[in-house]
Amino acid sequence: MYIKDNRWVPTLDDIKEAHHRVIPWINRTPIMTSMSIDSMVGGNLFFKCENLQKVGAFKFRGATNAVLSLSDEQALNGVATHSSGNHAQALALAARNRGIPAYIVIPGNAPKVKVDAVKGYGAEITFCEPTLDARETTLEKVIERTGAEFIHPYNDSRIISGQATAALELIDNIKDMDIIMAPVGGGGLLSGTSLSTKYLSPGTMIIAAEPENADDAFRSFRSGKLIPSEDPDTIADGLKTSLSDLTFNIIRENVDDIVTVSEDGIRIAMRTIWERMKLIVEPSSAVPLGAIMERKLDVKGKRVGIILSGGNVDLDRLPW
């Protein structure tokens, strides 16, 4: 439908090719279950552990696919993006794996630990003011100077095809799921998840979960028009971004519902995963379980796949 630059709706072949491309580089992450959480919610939950992915988040799948999709000529001058989060680290490592430079624009107020991680993967960092405007202008200059290829964190089909491989693996391993859930921020993971599910397990419902305090996707989905979020305040910091034209269109066509969850619900679900599953997940990862625990959807007797999106948290600043 959308075929503009790097924005089209990925096909099943795109997703399969992406998986073939990334599999030597990524962790084929485990799928875990918890008897005690199952008995709390009354269903069977299957957690796809992207917190155990390289760089600690699903983002490495998309970044790796994007970097490896480039022709040698495109790759020559490296890749660039603006991000202070998991996409920055993911792109930096993916570029290093291919042996090409990565240029990352980071707001000056980003946590030092994240900046250090990006540096650790050998990327060149340019700091900017912490506004979207400054990020974009600074990135443009970097690209002008270097000739690097811009890899958007989610408004890019190569990224979405890569993120889709998490659900592909989940469906490959767990049969007859009634529901697959993913959190939604910019919509890259959700778009990919919904496409893999529609192609490979069309009887499975796709339900997204979003913080009440950053419910732009929920409102966009209900109203049928793209409503960006305005300065949202949520502990699920990975979900503050707004949908893009590409992700909104894919989500509108393929997602069955979006539910929201309170900040307390996110906190309780996160702690439940830590305590019961002994897994470190970031708040964003806990949003789907939070929605289930707040009974925003009924999972009684159902088989539910959940993508745990990442595990990068500041251990000195836990939300309890």
Draw the binding track, 252-271, toward its own copies (x: CB under 8 A; -: no contact). -------------------x
Residue 300 binding its own copies, by CB under 8 A: no
Distance CA 215, CA 226 (A): 12
Q: How many CA atoms lie within 13 A of 317 on its CB side?
A: 8
Draw the binding track, 17-36, toward its own copies (x: CB under 8 A; -: no contact). -------------x-x--x-
**Shorter beta-carbon distance to its own copies: residue 243 or 308:** 308
Out of 43, 56, 78, 153, name the contact with its own copies by CB under 8 A. Answer: 56
Out of 52, 67, 91, 255, name the contact with its own copies by CB under 8 A. Answer: 52
Out of 7, 21, 54, 87, name the contact with its own copies by CB under 8 A. Answer: 54
Out of 10, 187, 290, 311, name the contact with its own copies by CB under 8 A. Answer: 311
Supply the minimum distance, in Å, between the C-beta of residue 311 and its own copies: 4
Name the phi and psi angles at 236, rounded to 5. Answer: -80, 75
Distance CA 47, CA 225 (A): 31
Residue 281 binding its own copies, by CB under 8 A: yes
Measured torsion, CA atoms of residues 274, 187, 170, 12, in degrees rounded to the nearest 10? -170
Name the phi and psi angles at 125, rounded to 5. Answer: -105, 135
Residue 59 binding its own copies, by CB under 8 A: no
Supply the minimum distance, in Å, between the C-beta of residue 95 and its own copies: 17
Residues near its own copies (CB under 8 A), total: 20
Q: Of the listed pieces 206-214, 226-234, 238-246, 279-287, which binds its own copies according to CB under 8 A?
A: 279-287
β-strands 149-150, 79-82: how paired?
A: parallel
Supply the minimum distance, in Å, between the C-beta of residue 241 and its own copies: 22
User: What's the start-to-end Cα distance of the chain, in Å?
Assistant: 45
**Shorter beta-carbon distance to its own copies: residue 22 or 280:** 280
Burial code (b: 16+ CB inside 10 Å, e: under 16) for 78-88 equals bbbbbbbbbbb
Residue 183 binding its own copies, by CB under 8 A: no
Q: Residue 285 has which token pair?
A: 């990862």
Supply the minimum distance, in Å, between the C-beta of residue 314 and its own copies: 10
Closest listed residue to residue 59, CA positions, set 92, 31, 17? 92
Evaluated on CA atoms 289, 295, 301, 305, the torsion sign reads: negative
Residues sharing a CB contact under 8 Å with residue 241, sequence separation 6 or more, in sequence order: 153, 154, 185, 186, 229
Amino acid type, 149: E
Out of 20, 275, 295, 298, name the contact with its own copies by CB under 8 A. Answer: 275
Supply the minimum distance, in Å, between the C-beta of residue 254 and its own copies: 29
**Shorter beta-carbon distance to its own copies: residue 168 or 270:** 270
For its own copies, the binding residues (CB under 8 A) are: 30, 32, 35, 51-52, 54, 56, 271, 274-275, 277-281, 311, 315-316, 318, 320
